[in-house]
Amino acid sequence: MTEHQKFLPRPELLAIEELDRLCTLFIGLGTRKLRLTGGEPLVRRGFMLLVERLSRHLRSGALEELTLTTNGTRLAEYAYDLARRGVRRINVSLDTRDPDAFSRITRGGKLTQVLAGIAAAQAAGIAVKINVVALKGVNDHEIADHMRALWHGPEPQQLGCQISCVNGGAGPILERKGHGDDARDQAGAAGRTAIGAIEACWAMEAIPELKKALMERAAGRRADPPSGLRPEARQALP
Q: The CATH number of the domain where 124 resides is what?
A: 3.20.20.70
Q: Which amino acid is at 211?
A: K
155 in a domain, yes or no?
Answer: yes
Whole-structure pTM value: 0.71
Note whether residue 21 is domain-resident: no
pLDDT surpasses 80 at 100: yes
Range from 31-35, 105-109, 125-129, 188-192 that averages highest in pLDDT: 31-35
pLDDT digits (tens, 9 = 90+) for 7-66: 677 777 889 999 999 999 999 999 999 999 988 999 999 999 999 999 999 999 999 999
Q: Which of 7-21, 115-129, 130-144 has the highest mean pLDDT?
A: 115-129
Q: What is the pLDDT of residue 140?
A: 73
Q: Is residue 148 part of a domain?
A: yes
Could you give the CA distance from residue 133 to residue 149 in angstroms, rounded to a whole number?
Answer: 16
Domain count, the chain: 1
* Residue bearing the bigger pLDDT, 23 or 152: 23
Q: Within 10 A of 121 (CB to CB), how many other CB atoms are there?
A: 26
Let me know: does 201 contact 143? Beta carbons within 8 Å: no
User: Which domain, by its residues, includes 182?
Assistant: 30-188
Query: Concatenated DSSP letters for 117-176?
Result: HHHHHHHTT-EEEEEEEEETTTTGGGHHHHHHHHH-SSS---EEEEEEEESSS--EEEEE
Q: Which of 99-103, 145-149, 177-181, 190-194 holds the top average pLDDT? A: 99-103
> Crossing angle, helix 75-84 and helix 47-60, to 10 degrees?
30
Tell me whether residue 14 is in a domain.
no
Task: For residue 214, give Cα distances in angstroms to 154, 170, 190.
Answer: 30, 15, 10
Q: Does any domain span residue 41?
A: yes
Give domain status of residue 9, yes or no: no
pLDDT of residue 213: 63
The mean pLDDT of 113-140, rounded to a whole number, is 86
Give the per-residue pLDDT at 170: 47
Residue 11 lies in a domain: no
Q: What's the half-sphere exposure (Cβ side, CA atoms, 13 Å) at 100? A: 1
Q: What is the pLDDT of residue 196?
A: 59
* pLDDT exceeds 60 at position 130: yes
Tell whether 160 is covered by a domain: yes
Quote the pLDDT of residue 60.
Answer: 96
